[in-house]
Chain A
Amino acid sequence: MTDRTTQIAVQKRKSFETEALPHMDALYRTALRMTKNEKDAEDLVQEAFVKAYRFWDKFEIGSNCRAWLFKIMTNIFINDYRSKSRSPMAVNVDDIDDNFLYGQLATGDGPANPEKELFNKIFDDDVKRAIENLPDDFRLVIVLSFLEGFSYQEIADITDLQLGTVKSRLHRGRKLLQKELFDYAVKNGYVRG
């Protein structure tokens, strides 16, 4: 191995560690939400970085590294980790009204901010479960948007979906979440006004 080749290899490793590795925390966070267990999440992130390192020569330094890494990881998730069984959803999302919670809360006679009381009846575990119960396709865009703050276009690039599909899935995911959270609140003792 010549000195020049070694130099290039060192440069490659160094730039990868500077540019790509800092995103590990965020990738793990999302992987955990998507795979729903720590072991799979770790494996997924590891695989993503290994693949990213192999393709590091192809990455344009200065362009959106975070989105690039998420795209690689999402790709692996869809191919290898997504649950193969698509169990039918308990509720048909299209039957849920738009602005579902508004419909449930704004009854006129209740307190000025009924949502506050509702939120108090929703526990951390409930939210976690509500997200986990979302079908993979919805959960993916929800997590990329809510948790990671990616723009619609970035999500479209990461998931290889049309912009319209991203927006539609976000919309429907939100409806599902609202329904689910409301059900938890009722179960936990929230009484409608």
Chain B
Amino acid sequence: MMNCQEALELLYDILDKEASEINSKEVKEHLSKCSDCFKKFQIEEQVQLFLNEKLANDPVPQNVSNKLDSLKSKISLELDNIDTENCSESSGKKKYFSISRILISAAALVIMVFTGFSLSGYVKHFKNYEPLESAHLATAKNLALFASAGSGSDYFTALSNQFGDNLKSDVMGFSLVGGQREKIMGVPMEHLVFSDNGALVSVFIVSKDQFTIPSELLDNSTIFENIEYFDHHCQGCHLVYHTIGNLIIITATENHDLKLKEFNLDIRAI
């Protein structure tokens, strides 16, 4: 048989649903016999319900939802920063993971919502640079698929004719090892591959009519030897664009130390 003191000691345990079954039963039994304790329990319960109700309604949920949305975006950005922390920085430009591509293709809407703010950056990279990077990276694996394009080969001859004899097959210690016509971003491009038995450089040649240099690059050109170049650096590759006559030439390499501008200059053999 429980006395008042024992019952009251368990009051908050009972209220918070933390009391054991045995204790709960014994307290209930005591309350059925003791009106004072019963009244005490009742008031404590009312206070609790009152507080819970007030707490739940403040702040008003409608006012908070805007805050929560902006908070969600801020957190997303922070998480993005952590995700891209491992990218090595060069020339201070922003780095993008190829994680972006997979994130976009992931079906989960919730991910799209959470990464809403950074999606535009990722989409840009995915759209503009990733296809070229992939095409370049693929060469290492698929070199055999590329036509033998050393000077004297039919492919190279045809190209040279097409471009009016402005191509060299030996550039800065790299020799032309292969080439093929590829469709990248829906546009047919000549894809030449140079190798120095260590690094690979891809040279993409495309007509101005069919390809535009991405606008964010146009704002950040550099002049080298009187020619305007446009750079894109990221963790994957280094891309350099420039125009010559009716053509746009894009060189790509994974080797960030390679002076692509000089490479570009040299290949044109002017």
Contacts and interface: CB of A to CB of B under 8 A. Distances in A.
Interface in A24-53: 24-25, 28-29, 32, 38, 42, 45-46, 49-50, 53
A170 to B, nearest CB: 7
A98 B54 CA distance: 22
B12 A171 contact: yes
Interface residues of A, number: 49
Contacts of A102: 39-40, 43-44
Interface string A1-30: 100001101100110111001001100110
A128 B58 contact: yes
A1 B52 contact: no
A42 B52 contact: no
Contacts of B108: 14, 17-18
B22 interface: no
Contact of B71 (A42, A50, A53, A128): A42
A16 to B, nearest CB: 7
B234 to A, nearest CB: 11
Contact of A49 (B48, B59, B79, B235): B79
Contact of A6 (B56, B68, B102, B114): B102
Interface of B: 8, 11-13, 16, 18, 39-40, 43-44, 46-48, 50-52, 54-59, 64, 67-68, 71-72, 74-75, 78-79, 82-83, 86, 97-99, 102-103, 106, 108, 110-111, 114, 235
Give 10 nearest A-B pairs by CB, closest first: A127-B54, A102-B43, A102-B40, A99-B40, A115-B46, A10-B102, A49-B75, A50-B78, A119-B50, A147-B55
10 contacts: A1-B86, A1-B97, A13-B111, A24-B68, A49-B75, A50-B75, A53-B82, A105-B43, A128-B54, A146-B55
